[in-house]
Structure 1
Amino acid sequence: MSADGNWKITISTPMGPQEVAAKITTSGDSFTGETSGRMGDQTISGKVDGDTLSWSMQITQPMPMTLEFEAKVAGDTMSGNVKLGAFGNAPLSGVRA
């Protein structure tokens, strides 16, 4: 599994779909990257466990909270879940850009 590259990720939130562009570079059991979208631009880092990526990010838009991501990569797609702080969970999907 290689998650390296550019991704277009859609998070299906209660406020409607939120799109995030991500650039991911893996190195063994970890990865680094950058995201950009309506929630702001950020540098991210996380863990790689087989075909699964996990990371968290702090956002300030539309309100301050910590998002916790877990996504499974299969070829040129990813699917998973985002914990939205006190607001529950939201599914995510992604395609290699």
Structure 2
Amino acid sequence: MANIDGAWNCTVSSPMGPQELTLTIQTSGDSFTGTASGQLGSLDLEDGAVDGDSITFKLQLKVPMPMALDGQATVSGDTLTGTVTAGAFGSWPITGTRA
């Protein structure tokens, strides 16, 4: 299982331009809790799960409009890469490094 605990400086390449955020993660077995903090405020990570080197999570955006986001990423050492999916709005790349 990947060591994902701690803070991650991430960028989501969204249609609104690059969105910088910090994911703060605390694992407990094969699940995790945490927050995503950035330009649009701070949100709780929901349904965080760890499977080997892969993680999945959900976010409920409130601004600029209510929207559910599904995230999935692979962790390799101090690097995180994956996608964030926003339903009909499509998927966007997410990259990050351990803070």
TM-score (norm 1): 0.94
Map 1:1-97 onto structure 2 (within 5 A).
1-45=2-46, 46-97=48-99
Query: Whole-Å Cα distance in 2 between the matches of residues 51 and 39 of structure 1?
Result: 28
Could you tell which deviates more after superposition, 15-24 or 34-43?
34-43
Structure 1: segments with no counterpart, 5+ residues: none
RMSD: 1.0
Size of the aligned set, in residue pairs, is 97
Runs of 4+ residues over 6 Å off in structure 1: none
Query: Whole-Å Cα distance in 1 between the matches of residues 66 and 45 of structure 2?
Result: 17
Structure 2: segments with no counterpart, 5+ residues: none
Contact 1:56 1:68 (C-alpha < 8 Å) held by counterparts: yes
TM-score (norm 2): 0.92
